[in-house]
């Protein structure tokens, strides 16, 4: 089970945008796409049939999962994720530093 999921707030721990935070938008195998981070310029050819305007656009590129960590809003730092069983018998994720559950 992945400890980081879609719509989690994460912080980059390596790369050109190190220290920036963003929201995970999707997973591709062992890579992750974070909203607004790891941008690259892409040259797009115009396609009037599809309604695509050509030019140079910024796109979010995928990055390895090892380059991100979940962001703890209370401590304002990167944190590790643990798994535990709650009172109802369901799995829940929690921050290892303070024990708070991840919503």
The CATH number of the domain holding residue 25 is: 2.30.30.30
Q: Residues with Cβ < 8 Å from 5, sequence gap 6 or more?
A: 24
- The pLDDT tens digits for 39-98 are 999 999 999 999 999 999 999 999 999 999 999 999 999 999 999 998 999 999 999 999
User: Residue 72 burial (CB < 10 Å; 0-12/13-18/19+)?
Assistant: buried
Q: What string of H, E and C letters represents the secondary structure of 19-67?
A: CCEEEEEEEECCEEEECCCCEEEEEECCECCCCECCEEEEEECCEEHHH
Domain span holding position 72: 9-95
User: Is 51 part of a structural domain of the chain?
Assistant: yes
Instruction: Provide the pLDDT for residue 103.
Output: 79
Cβ atoms within 10 Å of 95's Cβ, excluding its own: 20
User: Is 4 part of a structural domain of the chain?
Assistant: no
Q: What are the φ/ψ torsions at residue 67 (nearest 5 degrees)?
A: -90, 0
Q: How many folded domains does the chain comprise?
A: 1
Instruction: Provide the pLDDT for residue 3.
Output: 87
Instruction: Provide the pLDDT for residue 95.
Output: 94
User: Is 1 part of a structural domain of the chain?
Assistant: no
- The pLDDT tens digits for 2-27 are 789 999 999 999 989 999 999 999 99
């Amino acid at each position: 089970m992945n400890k980081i999921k879609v719509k989690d707030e994460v912080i980059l721990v390596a790369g050109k945008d190190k220290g920036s935070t963003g929201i995970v938008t999707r997973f591709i195998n062992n890579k992750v796409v974070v909203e607004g981070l790891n941008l690259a310029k892409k040259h797009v050819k115009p396609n009037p049939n599809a309604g695509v305007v050509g030019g140079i656009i910024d796109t979010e590129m995928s990055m390895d999962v090892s380059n991100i960590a979940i962001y703890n809003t209370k401590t304002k730092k990167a944190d590790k994720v643990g798994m535990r069983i709650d009172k109802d018998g369901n799995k829940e994720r929690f921050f290892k530093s303070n024990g708070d559950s991840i919503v």
